[in-house]
Structure 1
Amino acid sequence: MQKQYTLDTYKIAEDYFDRMLQEVTGIKCLVLDEETVQIISLVYSQTSILKKDVYLIERIDQPSEGKMQHLKVIYFIRPTEQNQQRLLQELEKSRFAEYYIFFSNSASNLFIETIAQADNLDLIKQIHEIYIDYYILSSHLYSLNVTSTYGLTKQQPLWNQTDNQVLQRVYEGLLSVLLSLKRVPMIKYLSSSDACLQLASKLTKKLKEEQQQNMSQLGQDSKTLLLIWDRREDPITPLLNQWTYQAMLHEIIGLQNNRIDIERKQKAIGDVNNVSSGNQDKEFVLNEKEDQFFMDNMYENFGDMTSNIRNFVESIQLEKNKSKKMETLQDIQNIVDSLPELKKKSNNLNKHFTLSMELNNTIEQQELMEISKAEQEISTKEARNDQANMIFEILNNKQIPKYQKLKLVIMYALRYENEDKIGKMKEKLKELGLTQTQTNLINHALDYAGKQHRSGDLFSTKNTINKYLNKIKNVMKDVPNVFTQHKPYIINIINQILENQMKENEFATTDLNFFREQPKEIIVFILGGATYEEAREIAMLHKEKSINALIGGTFVHNSYTFLAEIRNIAKDKKDEFGVQDGSLVYR
């Protein structure tokens, strides 16, 4: 029997927003900032908000003109200096009858006092802190929507002001996750990373203060482990083509805060024939809490998912056929009652059918099966010569896009850094039309996450016993799906934790809430970004082994956004390798 999931941030956020909108009674206005408007939309639809007597929703940086002194107003904003100034300006105008302020994170006493002193008319009735300063993408995945943390890969003394600001935002977001869950965890962090050390230290200091002030509210006996990890330890996972539904959608089209826009992807790759063709919707919302088909299939492989779409079609067709049988008044009443739900199901079917067709077309056009077989070989097996020959065959395949070829060479270089054939692969890429700037991404990937920057055993090659066992595993294992042999390295680390075999030389532990037992809950944070493949594996741990685990990161990458991050290492910011909205401009 599966144990109850105890790290459901979605449920926590829903409860927070329910209380926020219900406790302020009567007709009201809701004011959000550029981040909280996205944070709340992941949990609450606009329709749901309007049902809570919200008359108007507006942005704090785009206030409407005129006074509405018959209305109360709720502000759900981040406690930033910029928002403080906007709030002070708003209090001067006093557009509303009553003000209820909800900050998405901890605000200092001075911050709150400054606002209170400006409230000359006693308009502010309540000020609260509700710790939702992060983006809840699914039951097992959260993000901070910080697109780039490259500056934090430098040694801490070399950080500039922007780097320190980025670390502060990361700290605030992760603190919010812990405070919303009411957890005081034991913190382990990658000891080779200055940024992981700084983040762990700041969290430890703040949580000790919170412990002293809120002893009864924070769960100190939960045996929760927070693992702070660095994306550079596993640069392979974000580069792979994906074959489970949610991860495929992000890699091939691009998910942004659970929204997917086919037309934007088509424009980015120059597919002018399909842009705005017909009247079909091109932008969809994919939320497991509101879409039963997506919840049931988000982690399924593409073949099983398409079979389930077929079953979905048949079930809707069956319901439509029932509507043709109207023999009594009760039959008519039943059909009328079922029409809204039937329409909802039909629209949902259309959404997933459209998305699956887009995925299928891309798989065929770009020969992604061929490229993915090669990726899986490189990521799971040691065979440099055979894999090099395989890559040269792919480089000669005119059907496969240049981007996929470049990505494959990057993966090979990450595995076999000093291999002579890498130089020949670069020359071949240049013959295909890639510029020096574009092929330089191969070197940049090594500068970002080469073996000198990794402390873990990503390819199971450091330990001779592991290397031998890995070979046996690859020979003997009956792999049910050749496209999903790879397992993210972070899952190896979690399994080590569960088996009490964690490599202590790779990780340090702060003095916060230390315990020696096996953790009952594991919260993973990846500095540099997580992936949907990793989120799926975490969800499977709970489903199959009842492991309570939650994963998140500064961002959720696909290969395009990950290579855009690696490109930040280049001094020349004006190269030809353009990235727009996470999609490469050329293929």
Structure 2
Amino acid sequence: MSVLDAGAFFRPHTPAHGPESGAPIAFPLSPPPLLLSHPSRPLLRASLSLPGNRQSARDKQDMVLVDAFRRYFGDMIKEPGLKTLILDEETSAMTSLVFSQTQLLQSDIFLNERLSDSGLTTINIGSNNPVSSSSMASFKCIVFIRPSTNSISNLCTELRNPKYGSYYLHFSNIVSQEDINRLANADKYGLVQKFFEVFADFYPLERNMFSSDVKKLYINDPESWNELALRRSADSLSSVLLSLRLRCQIRFDVTSPMARSLATLMRDRIQQEKALFDFNSPATQLIILDRRSDPITPLLHQWTYQAMVHDLIGINNNILKLNDNKSEVTDYVFSEIQDPFLREIMFTNYGDLGDVIKQHVAKLQAKTGNNARLDNIQDMKRFMEQFPEFRRLSGNVGMHVSVSTTISNMTDNNKLLQASEVEQLLATEDEQSSYVKMVAGLIEKMSHSITGMRLTLRSVIIYGLRYGNSPQSAANYNSLIQTWFDFAIRLGYPDVDRVKRLLTRIHDITGITRRQKAGITPAHLDITNSKKRFTGFAGEDNMFTSHQPYFLKGLDKVLEGSPFNEWAFIDGTPTQLAPARNVIIFFINGATYEEFHFAAQINKRASMAKPDIPGQHNYRPGNVTNPAPGTRVILGGTHITRASDFMDYLLEQVRL
């Protein structure tokens, strides 16, 4: 009886531990300490962090997260013959972001099974006919799971009572020696053929955007991590660095205890696994920020397509749930990764969206020879419903017509343009004397529904963030709170007392008081930064999109190689600052699609910049307006937030 094959797990063999030819070695049921501490283990991990020969990070600099994830997964399923794929809940969600069921079938993946506490749940990909137990014994079973306590335990249960004839184990992150031992003991029939650690432990939402998909970050104290959330976030960041072969300096928001904790854990992991992170990468910085350092960005209404859809409808791991005036909710994949048309329009301004979609629909309409009028989004929607042959040609365009119709109706019905104008003025201008009447007027105008009152709550919060801590404005702010409160009570707004407590404590809850005590100007008070500080970005001349996220101020310094004291180095400030070329920005409490839009614009400019020396990367200083060639900004977060989520997060803290 054999257990985990050391020849498959470790390479190369040494003469002391096996034949020089590298033939497999079978260990007895209780694996010796050698299995748990073989010196070649770090080398194997490093070689698997990206399939293929070991290359410098500079050669891989243009690789995006999606490419890395696809290559991992493609390498896993390349075993010849019919195969079953076993995933757990998280790896199933992560994999579905970049691989479709059709692609799995093309790789001879005949069955897809979900590993959970209740055992295996089977999904037939290649056939609607059930597969017999005898046939399953001939399948190769490709396992890809997170090395979590539950998934390891469930896999041990499967190995003790195996359904398949051979198992190829892949883990999305580092497996502890204790868990290796548990798996070895569970494999009593010796069916495990390979055992790999790969680094695909993040949700690749877009080409340069990821999340750890963690929303419950704390238990009782909002300044202190839930331990599971802390480690899950560190797992994601570690795998992103390893997948892209990046060695980094770590910085954090100096006023955030949570950012400091995550930065400390990341430093400790990198030190413990030095061999894994031994890459010759260009200057790279991992910057860990706290959403509360810029609370205004997620509160603003969004007017570029992708950000607007998330704000109004919600996108969860690239899945959009849309009612579309039907009895059932439809799930749509909403990602540039699998939708080329979305890649074209994702950053399109709402005012231009209808024309862009109309042009695309008209081109497809010409192929059908139909001359129906297409004057507006509603015409396009009716046209697509009436002509099935057009839907076959259009691919995902029909989905975008439906989505555009929905957000257009929501914009008109909820007076979002009026609300957004007030928000932008509050966020980017400094004329508070006229703002009290403006916000009060908006509250009265939208006081006829719970939805309207929730929308105006954004403006009241923004006013409080801007002026609520000023003695000169305290009376005006209290007046606004009372105005909102009076209308809310008449409507029967839920939990109004808690909302009122939030408004009176907004500076403490968002950490503004702490930042001011540290001598740091809060983001929302830095008007020079929030509006048109950096020129050349899309939407800067549009009153509805004139706001710029605060992280650009620090990023500009990072790309220049200049000091920025709000973002501390976990190991102390280096004696010499170098301009960063790879920057990973990670937001605790959620990144936004607006920030992703700005990061994407910087990356696009960098890709178009010409190096001083043709054919070579140039690492001269740059900035967000004119990034140097080779610059790449990757945006991540514990999750992707929006106004409703962020307000719920703020209200939750009033209970504490």
Provide TM-score, normalisation by structure 1: 0.84
Equivalent runs, 1:233-248 vs 2, <5 Å: 233-248=293-308
Counterparts of 1:82 and 1:550 in 2: how far apart (Å)? 31
Matched, 1:39 2:94: yes
1:95 and 1:50 map into 2 onto residues whose CA distance is: 20
Corresponding residue of 2:589: 528
Q: CA deviation at 1:208?
A: 2.5
Alpha-carbon distance, 1:283 to partner: 2.5
- The alpha-carbon deviation at position 183 of structure 1 amounts to 1.0
Q: Contact 1:444/1:566 (CA < 8 Å) preserved in 2?
A: no
Question: Does structure 1 conserve the Cα–Cα contact (< 8 Å) formed by 2:465 and 2:524?
Answer: no
1:77 equivalent in structure 2: 145
2:441 paired residue number: 393
* Native 8 Å contact 1:153 1:195 kept in 2: no
Q: Distance in 2 between matches of 1:195 and 1:64?
A: 38
> How far did residue 341 of structure 1 move?
11
Q: 1:543 aligns with which of 596, 604, 608?
A: 604
2:73 equivalent to 1:9? no
Q: Is the 8 A contact 1:444 1:567 kept in 2?
A: no
Cα displacement (A) at 1:73: 0.9
- Give, in whole Å, the separation in 1 of the partners of 2:466 and 2:139: 62
Decide whether the 8 Å contact of 1:104 with 1:132 is kept in 2. yes
The alpha carbon displacement at 1:4 in A equals 9.5
CA distance in 2 between counterparts of 1:29 and 1:449 reads 48
| Deviation readout 1:142-173 (Å, 9 max, x if unpaired) | 111101325597555xx6xxx12221111112
Task: Say if 1:493 and 1:471 are closer, same or farther in 2 by CA, change over 3 A.
Answer: closer
Q: CA deviation at 1:443?
A: 3.7
Alignment of 1:106 with 2:157, yes or no, is no
Tell me, in whole angstroms, the C-alpha distance in 1 between the residues paired with 2:198 and 2:363.
42
Residues 97, 123 of structure 1: 8 Å contact kept: yes
Match of 1:63 in 2: 120
Residue 511 (structure 1) shift: 6.6
The separation in 2 between residues aligned to 1:262 and 1:221, in whole angstroms, is 43
The residue identity in structure 1 corresponding to 2:74 is D
The answer as to 2:267 corresponding to 1:204 is yes
Q: Where does residue 132 of structure 1 map in the other structure?
A: 200
CA-CA distance at 1:12 after TM superposition: 0.3
- Decide whether the 8 Å contact of 2:530 with 2:547 is kept in 1: no
Q: Does 1:172 align with 2:228?
A: no
**Which stretch has the larger CA shift, 30-39 or 504-513?**
504-513
Mapped partners of 1:38, 1:57: distance in 2: 13
Residue 64 of structure 1, CA deviation:
4.5
Q: Output the CA distance in 2 between the equivalents of 1:153 and 1:379.
A: 29
Shift of residue 345 of structure 1?
A: 4.0
Q: Deviations over 1:47-101 (max 9, x none)?
A: 1112211111121014149842121111111101111111111111111100111
Partner Cα distance (1:222, 1:73) in 2: 39
The answer to whether 1:224 aligns with 2:284 is yes
**What is the identity, as a one-letter code, of the residue corresponding to 2:315?**
L
Cα offsets for 1:512-556 (capped at 9, x unmatched): 999621011111111111000000100001112443110100010
Shift of 1:311: 0.4
Shift of 1:322: 10
> Compared with structure 1, are the counterparts of its residues 444 and 123 closer, same or farther at alpha carbon in structure 2 (3 Å cutoff)?
farther
- 2:174 alignment partner, SS class: coil
Q: Distance in 1 between matches of 2:221 and 2:432?
A: 29
Question: TM-score, structure 2 length as denominator?
Answer: 0.75
RMSD after superposition: 3.0
Q: Which amino acid aligns with 2:102?
A: T
CA distance in 1, matches of 2:260, 2:195: 33
> Percent of aligned positions with the same letter in both sequences?
29
User: Mean alpha-carbon deviation: is it higher for 506-515 or for 48-57?
Assistant: 506-515
The separation in 1 between residues aligned to 2:162 and 2:196, in whole angstroms, is: 20
Query: Taking structure 1 as reference, are residues 489 and 80 closer, same or farther at Cα in structure 2, changes over 3 Å only?
Result: same
Q: How does 1:546-557 map to 2 (within 5 A)?
A: 546=607, 547-557=631-641
Of 81, 90, 107, the match for 1:26: 81
Higher helix share: 1
Quickly say closer, same or farther: Cα 1:104–1:376, change in 2 above 3 A: same
Aligned partners of 1:52 and 1:364: how far apart in 2? 47
| 1:471-499 C-alpha deviation (Å, 9 max, x unpaired) | 9979xx99521110000101121112223
On the 8 A contact 1:185/1:513 being kept in 2, the answer is no
1:570 and 2:633 correspond:
no
Q: How much does 1:569 deviate? A: 0.8
1-structure distance, mates of 2:217, 2:187: 38
2: distance between equivalents of 1:4 and 1:77? 26
Residues 164 and 473 of structure 1: is their aligned pair in 2 closer, same or farther, counting only changes over 3 Å?
A: closer
- How far did 1:404 drift? 0.6
Q: Structure 1 residues 320 and 275 mapped into 2: Cα distance closer, same or farther (>3 Å)?
A: closer
AA matched with 2:544: F
State the AA in 2 paired with 1:87.
Answer: L
Distance 1:428 1:191 in 2: 37
User: Which of the residues 306, 315, 318 maps onto 1:255?
Assistant: 315
Structure 1 residues 533 and 155: CA distance shift in structure 2, 3 A: closer
The equivalent of 1:195 in structure 2 is 258
Are the aligned partners of 1:225 and 1:523 in contact in 2 as well (CA < 8 Å)? yes
- In 2, the alpha carbon distance for the partners of 1:100 and 1:342 equals 44
**Which of 327, 336, 343 is 1:276 aligned to?**
327
- Separation in 2 of the partners of 1:75 and 1:539? 34
SS of 2:273's equivalent in the other structure is: helix
Residues 425-504 of structure 1 correspond to what in structure 2 (within 5 A)? 425-433=480-488, 434=493, 435-443=496-504, 445-454=506-515, 456-459=520-523, 461=525, 479-504=540-565
Range 427-436 or range 96-105, more displaced = 427-436
Deviations 1:415-468 (Å, cap 9, x if unpaired)? 112322222222222221332123333245433214213365345747xxx86x
Distance 2:399 2:222 in 1: 43
Kept in 2: contact 1:240–1:372 (CA 8 A): yes
**Segment of structure 1 superposing worse, 437-446 or 561-570:** 437-446
Unpaired stretches in structure 2, ≥5 consecutive residues: 1-58, 123-131, 372-387, 608-630
SS of residue paired to 2:201: coil
Match of 2:405 in 1: 357
CA contact (8 A) 2:320 2:333 kept: yes
Query: 1: CA distance between counterparts of 2:200 and 2:249?
Result: 21
503 and 369 in structure 1: CA distance in 2 versus 1, 3 angstrom threshold: same
In the alignment, is the contact (CA less than 8 A) between 1:233 and 1:453 conserved in 2? no
Aligned residue in 1 for 2:459: 408
Q: Of the two, which has the highest radius of gyration?
A: 2
The answer to whether the 8 Å contact 1:150/1:568 transfers is no
Q: What's 2:337 paired with?
A: 289
Closer/same/farther in 2, CA of residues 49 and 430 from structure 1, 3 Å limit: same
Mapped contact 2:583–2:633 kept (Cα < 8 A): yes
Q: Structure 2: how far apart are the matches of 1:5 and 1:303?
A: 36
Q: 1:439 to 1:134 in 2, by over 3 A?
A: same
Q: Which range moved further: 118-127 or 420-429?
A: 420-429
State the secondary structure of the residue aligned to 2:165.
strand
Secondary structure of 2:215's counterpart equals coil
- The structure, 1 or 2, with the larger RCO (C-alpha pairs under 8 Å, 6+ apart) is 1
Structure 2 CA distance for partners of 1:235 and 1:472, relative to 1, 3 Å: closer
Over 3 Å counting, the alpha-carbon distance change for 1:523 and 1:152 in structure 2 is: farther
Q: Cα 1:502–1:115, aligned 2, differ >3 Å: closer, same or farther?
A: same
Question: How far off is 1:7 after superposition?
Answer: 5.0
Q: By how many angstroms is 1:221 displaced?
A: 3.3
State the one-letter code of the partner of 1:382.
D
Structure 1 unaligned spans of 5+: 267-273, 324-339, 573-587
Which residue identity lines up with residue 229 of structure 2 in the other structure? V
Match of 2:211 among 143, 167, 190: 143
